[in-house]
């Protein structure tokens, strides 16, 4: 049988009973308990998202079709940006675990290096999320609702054509250039003017001109298709004057008829982003303490290990958000 401690451990570090049940310090175990409770919160949020989705009678927006932009580039890159964010967070998790390893060797220089890189990685993730939010809020061109049902011919992404039966209040999507100018026009911007003639709609203003060449139906669900020509004008002429949606806010979003979609996006990624933000601040404080030699004097780098647990947890949550919000 194992004998009682052969190494003397100071009284302050031991629990009241003179033992340390899990052979970890009080602080580290409380960090684990906190993480369990925080994981329950995130688990609850993602499950609530699942409930909203399972009980929805309308098609739910698809991650690949909502999130396919990259900063400064035209074109479609499904989930590339989110995958990049995931990679940034995994890398900063790696630098964190390397800082913990350096701490176990009591190697201050290495701890400083890896902790510093972790702070930088976390900052890049928060900045990426800010861009993602901005893009989600501004949207991809906006949509209008139609006042009557009709059948139109649309071209699918693979080039095939198909008939679409649209109902009253279904949404028709505009392209980014047209939608941007239209939003300004609808807000009463005097510099933007609209001309409708010969079956075309032209918006001009602020040095840009946008012609409505095609619209999309089912843009964010699986059989997205483009509609042009006379069918497009039929849809445009049936637009509801108060049925325009641009991007997303707390009351409406262009991505899905379910407002829960936007609200869960804001809450889940926002709550996670807030964790990352606080993680960056905590990491920064510990980084400064490492640089000033606090832990060198203390004789161990357990504080790096504890903030490391929190930081890895943030990465862990993102892995699940990535799967259940974006992929599935």
Q: What is the edge-to-edge ordering of all strands in the sheet holding 193-197?
A: 193-197, 200-205, 208-211
According to DSSP, residue 248 is labeled: B
- What minimum distance in Å lies between the beta carbon of 187 and another protein? 36
Tally the C-alpha atoms within 13 A of residue 25's C-alpha that lie toward its C-beta.
14
- What minimum distance in Å lies between the beta carbon of 37 and another protein? 10
Please state, in angstroms and rounded to a whole number, the distance separating the CA atoms of residues 319 and 328.
12
- What minimum distance in Å lies between the beta carbon of 40 and another protein? 7
The angle formed by the CA atoms of residues 13, 15 and 17, to the nearest 5 degrees, is 135
Query: Given the complex with another protein, which of 9 and 195 has the nearer CB atom?
Result: 9
Please state, in angstroms and rounded to a whole number, the distance separating the CA atoms of residues 109 and 291.
9
Copy the structure tokens of residue 84: 């990049």
Query: Given the complex with another protein, which of 287 and 295 has the nearer CB atom?
Result: 295
Copy the structure tokens of residue 99: 């800082």
Residue owning tokens 């497009």? 232
Query: Given the complex with another protein, which of 30 and 195 has the nearer CB atom?
Result: 30
Query: Given the complex with another protein, which of 248 and 317 has the nearer CB atom?
Result: 317
- What minimum distance in Å lies between the beta carbon of 279 and another protein? 14
- What minimum distance in Å lies between the beta carbon of 129 and another protein? 17
Please state, in angstroms and rounded to a whole number, the distance separating the CA atoms of residues 251 and 73.
29
Please state, in angstroms and rounded to a whole number, the distance separating the CA atoms of residues 269 and 103.
32
- What minimum distance in Å lies between the beta carbon of 56 and another protein? 7
Q: Which residues 6+ apart lie within 8 Å of 305 measured at CB?
A: 28, 100, 103
- Cα dist from 165 to 76, 85, 237, 244, whole Å: 27, 38, 17, 20
Query: Given the complex with another protein, which of 122 and 179 has the nearer CB atom?
Result: 122
List the helix and strand counts (H, then E) for the chain.
10, 10
Q: Which residues 6+ apart lie within 8 Å of 132 measured at CB?
A: 67, 81, 82, 85, 269
Residues in the chain: 328
- What minimum distance in Å lies between the beta carbon of 244 and another protein? 27
Query: Given the complex with another protein, which of 271 and 320 has the nearer CB atom?
Result: 320
- What minimum distance in Å lies between the beta carbon of 69 and another protein? 15
> How many other CB atoms sit within 10 Å of the CB of residue 319?
13
């Amino acid at each position: 049988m194992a004998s009682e401690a052969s190494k003397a451990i100071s009284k302050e570090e031991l629990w009241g009973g003179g033992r340390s049940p899990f052979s970890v310090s009080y602080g580290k175990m409380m960090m684990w308990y906190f993480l369990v409770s925080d994981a329950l919160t995130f688990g609850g949020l993602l499950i609530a998202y699942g409930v909203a989705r399972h009980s929805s009678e309308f098609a739910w927006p698809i991650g690949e079709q909502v999130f396919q932009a990259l900063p400064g580039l035209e074109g479609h890159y499904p989930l590339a940006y989110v995958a990049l964010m995931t990679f940034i967070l995994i890398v900063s998790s790696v630098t964190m675990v390397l800082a913990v390893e350096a701490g176990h060797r009591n190697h201050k220089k290495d701890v400083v290096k890896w902790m510093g890189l972790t702070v930088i990685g976390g900052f890049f993730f928060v900045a990426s999320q800010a861009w993602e939010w901005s893009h989600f809020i501004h949207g991809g061109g906006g949509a209008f609702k139609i006042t009557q049902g009709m059948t139109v011919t649309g071209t699918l992404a693979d080039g095939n054509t198909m008939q679409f039966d649209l109902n009253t209040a279904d949404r028709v999507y505009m392209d980014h250039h047209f939608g941007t100018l239209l939003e300004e026009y609808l807000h009463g911007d005097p510099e933007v003017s609209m001309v409708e003639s010969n079956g075309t709609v032209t918006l001009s203003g602020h040095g840009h001109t946008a012609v409505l060449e095609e619209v999309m139906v089912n843009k964010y669900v699986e059989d997205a298709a483009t509609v042009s020509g006379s069918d497009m004008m039929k849809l445009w002429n049936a637009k509801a004057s108060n049925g325009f949606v641009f991007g997303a806010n707390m009351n409406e979003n262009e991505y899905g008829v379910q407002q829960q979609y936007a609200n869960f996006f804001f809450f889940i990624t926002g709550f996670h982003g807030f964790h990352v933000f606080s993680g960056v601040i905590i990491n920064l404080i510990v980084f400064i303490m490492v640089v000033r030699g606090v832990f060198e004097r203390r004789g161990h780098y357990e504080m790096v290990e504890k903030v490391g647990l929190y930081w890895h947890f943030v990465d862990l949550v993102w892995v699940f958000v990535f799967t259940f919000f974006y992929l599935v």
